[in-house]
Amino acid sequence: MAATGFSVGLGNIWRFPYVTGENGGSAFVLIYLFAAFAIGVPILMSEIMIGRRGGATPPMSMREVALASKRSPSWAWLGYLNLLTGFAIAAVYTVVTGWVLFYLFEALWGGLDQLDVATSPDYFNALLADIPALMFWGALPLVITGCIIAGGVAKGIERAAKCLMPLLILLLLSLVVHNVFMGGMPETLDYLFSADFSKVTPATVLTAVGHAFFSIGVGMGAMMMYGAYLPPHISIATSAVVVALIDTSVALIAGLVIFPMVFHHQLDPAGGAGLIFQTLPIAFAQMPAGGLVAVLFFLLLGLAALSSLVGLCEPLVAWVGERFKLRRIRSLVVLMGVMAAAAMTSVLSYNLWQDVTLFGYSMNWLMSYLPDQFMLPLGGFLIALFAGWFIQSSEAKDELNISSPRLFALWHLLMRFAVVPALFIILLTGLVVQ
């Protein structure tokens, strides 16, 4: 559940439904499902396998597994890349999570009730311009995440996962039931699930493969770290399949939560942050019991975001403790202090530094592009390359413990000849397009 909580984030809830509707509905879903299980599951298995085999933080696990396969210990630098990627993403992610908590607070006391098409964008822009408010709300997710991580693996992360994930799914299903009675569901089902193969192009396939990779959450050190905590008797293959299934299911159900409200109130189903923070609040203001629905919705988003933030920060906390011989609480304080400073850079990129450029690019664009479009696919590609071509088959077979030789051979073939080329294309496309 902790690994699933990390995978299920804001991208599942605001990006996947929109991308599905814009790329052929169920035709896209079929391609995505194939990509998730042919590419996402094998590389997820690989990252968990490396973590459990190494039994330590990503850099040390990479080093130990490389040595066991008679490879250079310099592969440890890939673990450092994963940690750096996770840190960079978390610095931006905590600020966005702060937006969610702010809107949750506003929904609780009725601050969203009067929003309309004219005032909703101004409301969101006012938040981005308010530096003290952004700093407070950007720091709050780190405090909550720190409290969870401070409890350790069993009493902190495990206990939180057992509470957060069932609550998240319960909230999702409750909002779906609400939408069935409120209207907009037929239009949503048509938008998401009517197969339109005329919209399927090579770019659609690439989008599906890319989203499958990004959504499952490899390349950031979290899955490797959770793999290090995974008991030997737990099946890695089963765990990876379950994570992929729940991750995909939540993304599809999220479409049944968001778009009925959008279509029923004749709003524009735009993607990204604009849909969540500018469009949906208008729907909440117009519907009966909209204040309660807004609270449930932003609580849902907050739970998804916080569970992902825990996964991003845990390997960093563990590495700080391992590297500097610090106890968990001290390493947590050090990490959160550095993370808060990095998050403040993200905060300022929305206001004071919005016109500051580096190499012709804005600070906000660089902080999003570098980790998402370059570091993450590069790390994922190198993990796939390492697992498919550099780990000895006997080492991988022993740790994966797949009973069927044919299934192990299938995993090995997929890693070598499907996952590695696909991630290389994703990496190359991200560089060329930008």
Q: In whole angstroms, what is the distance from residue 35 CA to residue 171 CA? A: 28
Q: In whole angstroms, what is the distance from residue 110 CA to residue 112 CA? A: 5
pLDDT of amino acid 223: 95
Q: Give the CATH number of the domain where residue 277 resides.
A: 1.20.1740
How many domains is the chain built from?
1
Q: Give me 315's structure tokens.
A: 């390997």
User: Using an 8 Å Cβ cutoff, are 50 and 62 in contact?
Assistant: yes
pLDDT of amino acid 270: 59
Domain that holds residue 403: 2-433
pLDDT digits (tens, 9 = 90+) for 381-433: 999 999 999 999 999 999 998 888 999 999 999 999 999 999 999 888 877 76
pLDDT digits (tens, 9 = 90+) for 108-126: 999 898 888 889 999 999 9
pLDDT of amino acid 274: 76
pLDDT of amino acid 70: 95
Summary mean pLDDT of the chain: 90
pLDDT tier at 8, thresholds 50, 70, 90: confident
pLDDT digits (tens, 9 = 90+) for 154-175: 788 888 888 888 898 899 899 9
Of all residues in the chain, the percent with pLDDT exceeding 90 is 56
Q: Over 90: is that where the pLDDT of 199 sits? A: no
pLDDT digits (tens, 9 = 90+) for 384-393: 999 999 999 9
pLDDT of amino acid 139: 95
Q: In whole angstroms, what is the distance from residue 415 CA to residue 42 CA? A: 6
pLDDT digits (tens, 9 = 90+) for 236-280: 999 999 999 999 898 889 889 888 988 888 877 655 667 888 888
Of 8-22, 134-148, 288-302, the least confident: 8-22
The residue assigned the tokens 């992902």 is 308
Q: Over 60: is that where the pLDDT of 434 sits? A: no
